[in-house]
Amino acid sequence: MKHSILIALSDSFISTSVLNYLVNLELNPHDQKITLLHVLIRPKAEQSLMGKKYSSEQEKRMLGYLDKAKARLLEIGYQQDQVRTVLLTKPYTTVAEGIIDHFNQESYDMVMIGRKKMSKSEEFVLGDISIKLVRALARTAIVVVKP
């Protein structure tokens, strides 16, 4: 029976830690279906000064990052049809909202996400994606990787 794993990534050190953690789990690649997901947050109206060029470059950069992450999994034994990449471009308010929406549209046995260290005030103001996922996806295993 194949297990499906949703891995939320960005092009950061934390996401590299998440991939390293997955690789070091030594799961049998033939028993897994992996989805590498990035939620692309579009600039809000007041941030539109960054322009369409910035948005377009950000999308290309993230697609490249997801392809590199997929290639890494293929190197350790996953097959092409077992790893897919998803770039969500729908305008979500938060990354957590995008992950939860995608999760609800698909069926996953586990979600993996990285967590950066934040001060209490940063956590209060910005929120914590991993905490939101743990609360919203209560019936699913959530693996939170701290670098």
Global pTM? Answer: 0.84
CA distance 28 to 31: 6
Name the residue range of residue 138's domain. 3-145
pLDDT at 120: 52
- What's the CATH code of the domain at 49? 3.40.50.620
Q: Number of folded domains in the chain?
A: 1
Query: pLDDT tens, position by position, for the chain (147 residues)?
Result: 578 999 999 888 888 889 989 988 878 878 889 999 999 876 655 555 555 666 667 888 999 999 999 999 999 999 999 999 999 988 888 888 999 999 999 989 999 998 765 555 544 444 567 778 888 888 889 888 887
- Give per-residue burial for 42-80: e unless 16+ CB within 10 Å, then b: eeeeeeeeeeeeebeebeeebeebbeebbebbeeeebee
